[in-house]
Amino acid sequence: MLTVAIIIGIVGIGALGVAGRRRQTELSTWTVGKRDLPRWTSWFLQAGESLTTFSFLGLAGIAFGGGVAALFAVAYLTINCIVQYFVVPRQRQLGANRGYLTMADFFQDRFNSKALGKTVAVVGAVFLIPYLQLQITGLGLIVQLATGSESARGYSMAVASVLVVVFVIWAGIRGLAKVAVFKDFAMLAALVIVLAGVVAGIGGIPDIFAKVMDTAPSYLTISRPGFDATFWVTSVIVTSIGAGLNTFPHLWPPVLAAKSGAVLRDNVKWLAVYQFLLLIPITAGIAATLVLDPKTKGNFVLLGIAQHTLPEPLIAVIAIGGAAAAMVPAGAIAMGISSLVSNNLLSVKNPKLRFRINHVVVAIAVGLALAFGLAKSDIGALLLLTYGGLTQLAPAVAIAIGRKVRIGAVPVNLGIIVGTLTVAVITFGNIPTGGIDSGLIALAPNLAVLAVAELIRRRRNPQAVAGGAAGVGQSSPEQQPVHTAVGIEA
């Protein structure tokens, strides 16, 4: 019965995405609408990144193993809001004036380099796949833990994946926005229920921390094995850099679709406060150390403690909220991947054919994530892999948001390639890093290669440097926009 209720909830979420929406027929309106999303619609789209399956499962698992070290998520998301207050309005302004549809358009235009645009498209698409897999995996785990059924895990992942493909292809960003509103309210309800269960079943919050202090005080310091100060500081730094400079391709459509820069500034003000909801899964994870087997896997912690303290009907509500927390980011990520591939990676001039290819890529990306997700994965590790890889785009973003771009495209391109390869080698080679985040380590060779290549470029072509990197980043009446801008309001 519980399985049926959860599946019905997942189907309802998917139906909400297509309800009352006409099918989109153009890539521009599918991706960014008419660039006129109002404040609250835009806010819910941006808030979708704050409460995901990582928040729901991964963060509680980190708290269960590392205690208060899990607060790194609150720290980096808050810093992210401060940086984005200044960065994303500028990105939105450039996008409206120059007709960007994707993050790769931004790089291609600012550095006047199609090659760089293609590199960014490849990096963005490849490193978003683990993040998409994370959402699908998380949804399956939520259903499996709530129902106790391994088969329900697979069925729910398949059903949710199909529904994500359908509502993303059908309605684009506006359908995604509609589901995002439901998702945030559902997640809020789920987290409040979890907190109520923890308080009722284990004791008040002060009592919980007092008991942890008596039994295992190391949980209240940043000193647990694998979650020490090095882990905390480097994780906060690398994720703050990547998120603050908006290096995630799937987060560009909400920025480019916003009505104005003022809307985005108002959004990030309140998003900084919104991050404090993450204290609930962190508290639940720490409380779980008092009642769950120490050998419990991190991904199983939040629903494990919920089952320990709550009745079955409330478990269903939590599971549906968790499913929504997976489906909305999954839809946004699929949009991010497909638009990069169809718009930047493949050179297809026919708009209708490009839009069809875009839809095919949505299905392929979600299908790949589903296939990978059927194998059990560490949710926290997947998130950090994505952040580490995409953070390699941060130096280029910082260079490009200025009024004039003075660094060449080739040095930036080489730096990105070296940085992302370094992340891949460290991650898949299981190279020990002493707790330092691989993304932060990779920034060193990234910046070194960029600097050396730029010095060589300047020596070979001093006239181009004097002219602003051969016109890079300079708009002129003769220079055509990347795309015909839709509904521009600067």
- The reply to whether 440 falls in a domain is no
Distance, in Å, from the CA atom of 330 to the CA atom of 132, rounded to the nearest integer, reads 6
- pLDDT score, position 485: 42
Q: Scanning the structure block, which residue is given the tokens 């892999």?
A: 385
Range of the domain at 250: 2-379
Domain assignment present for 224:
yes
Query: Is 352 inside a domain boundary?
Result: yes
For CA atoms 394, 358, 382, 6, give the dihedral sign. Answer: positive
CA angle, corner 474, sides to 472 and 480, nearest 5? 100
- Report percent pLDDT > 90 for the chain: 52
226 neighbors 63 (Cβ within 8 angstroms): no
**pLDDT-above-70 percentage for the chain:** 92
User: For the segment 120-154, what is each residue's pLDDT rounded down to a tens digit?
Assistant: 999 999 999 988 988 888 888 888 878 878 788 88
The kind and range of the H/E element at 224 are strand 223-224
| Structural domain contains residue 127 | yes
**Contact call for residues 215 and 84 (beta carbons, < 8 A):** no
The verdict on residue 329 lying in a domain is yes
* 220-270 confidence digits (pLDDT tens): 999 898 888 998 999 899 889 999 999 999 999 999 999 999 999 999 998
Which residues make Cβ contacts (< 8 Å) with residue 221, sequence separation at least 6? 67, 68
Each residue's pLDDT tens digit, 418-454: 999 999 899 888 888 888 889 999 999 999 999 999 9
* 459 within some domain: no
pTM score, two decimals? Answer: 0.90
Q: Say which residue, 70 or 308, is predicted with more confidence.
A: 70
The pLDDT confidence band at residue 477, using thresholds 50, 70 and 90, is very low
- Give the E-state strand segments of 337-483 in sequence order: none
Q: Dump pLDDT digits (tens) for 170-209.
A: 989 988 988 999 998 998 999 999 999 999 888 889 999 9
Give me the helices (H) in 245-345, please. Answer: 252-257, 261-274, 279-288, 301-309, 312-340
Integer Cα distance of 274 and 270 in angstroms:
6
Other CB atoms within a 10 A radius of the CB of residue 279 amount to: 18
pLDDT of 384 reads 66
Q: Per residue in 5-31, pLDDT tens?
A: 888 998 999 898 888 667 777 899 999
**pLDDT tier, 486 (very low <50, low <70, confident <90, very high otherwise):** very low
User: Is 153 a member of any domain?
Assistant: yes
Q: Is the pLDDT of residue 468 over 60?
A: no
Check residue 489 and give its pLDDT. 35
Asked whether residue 464 is assigned to any structural domain, the reply reads no
pLDDT at 473 over 60: no
Alpha carbons 245 and 406: distance in angstroms, whole number:
18
Instruction: Check which CATH number belongs to the domain holding 83 and give it.
Output: 1.20.1730.10
| pLDDT of the residue at 142 | 85
Length, in residues, of the chain: 490
To the nearest 5 percent, what fractions of the chain are helix, strand and coil?
80, 0, 20
Reported confidence tier of residue 4, pLDDT bands at 50, 70, 90: confident
- Give per-residue pLDDT as tens, 273-327: 888 899 999 999 999 999 999 988 888 898 889 888 888 889 989 989 988 988 9
Alpha-carbon distances of 238 from 63, 171, 340, 360, 470, rounded to whole Å: 20, 34, 24, 33, 32
pLDDT value at position 381? Answer: 61
User: pLDDT at position 481, please?
Assistant: 67
Asked if 67 contacts 220 with a C-beta cutoff of 8 angstroms, the reply is yes
Q: What is the pLDDT of residue 490?
A: 31
Residue 466 is predicted with a pLDDT of 57
Q: Choose between 38 and 479: higher pLDDT.
A: 38
How many structural domains does the chain have? 1
